[in-house]
Structure 1
């Protein structure tokens, strides 16, 4: 019945932008990212002891970099406290999403990408992966001459979206909002990135559809926190019925056989 018809979990403007820019990502980066495994917060990827020392941080960032196919000579990594990191932390022109702080920063220096990460992000290596994936996706978009069309007003949200397309969406979606106890019972909320949980959830639903695995919940989606997982499920149901009305119409999903 139409009354129970699944709705897209994000408003029309955000829906159209996510669909359009995921297709843009496929045009610019090909379908290899869709064919790679989705990175999950498991010991397979995050192997070895971790105490948050600089060598641990560099190892984790190096693993993310290798998965993204970025050579070591393209980037260097530094640790810098939040107050030392430049950049706006407020709203973007396209999506008025506020962040709690600057967790990392990317810039070009002497022909290489410089990634600076707030040491506060290194205490949790799962969160560190989310920060590293975002900053390294800047390098994919802007490094080595840049990708045409990647430096517009939506560059920051596009960088978040590219983490989904390149397989790190579980990490960045889970890091988008954090609500936890601290200092003996007080509560703190933290946000990270430019896309909210609903936008990440719908982007992951589109990503799964493009991978040809949206007819049932993929195993990797069970690693999502409750909110982004719920939004993704809603997005999957919407696409199952109405993908022909979206900007994904005409895109050929990967074969699953």
Structure 2
């Protein structure tokens, strides 16, 4: 008789399912804790301001260890600096500003897209977005912790926007008329950011009734001014 064949595979021990490496899991948990701290800190800083906010309250509300702020941000100052940078990035990201200003659209369309994004975000203040309230507080009572936000958010975006406005005016972005025009266009956005929704409604009750109409008006007003300045610059260059 032939020997009976055995099922060798049945005798092999089953391999246990692979578990994610402990380090990878720890990194994921750490990233989640950091993001949770950032979100909660944004709300606390928006409510209380930098001076009266404490790491203890932030950690308690984030269900995090009291040492987590020091571990992830180096302390309250580092956390606040990170919150400022995150708030500015959420208002309008560098990627969006780059996409708009470097597109093949006309100068007028670029300006319209940019204002639509900024004004649309500012108009959300009634929904309780902490990002705008944090930026508003910082603009009204500046701290010494704006450096990262200025370096990584404000300055790169400013270079892109002044380049766009310089193209509309037909002059280099370093021309004084570009700086003056940029301030004239950004100024109304800063007013909407700094002034509380309650005060805006008291002073200008119809301001945010129709956001689309407001954006169209701001674009038309800005383009009218830019066209006038461009004509003056062309006239001066002929003399």
Q: When you count strand as a share of all residues, which structure comes out higher? A: 1
Bigger proportion of residues as helix:
2
TM-score (norm: length of structure 1): 0.24
Q: Give the structure, 1 or 2, with the largest relative contact order (CA under 8 Å, sep 6 or more).
A: 1
Give me the TM-score of the superposition, normalised by structure 2.
Answer: 0.25
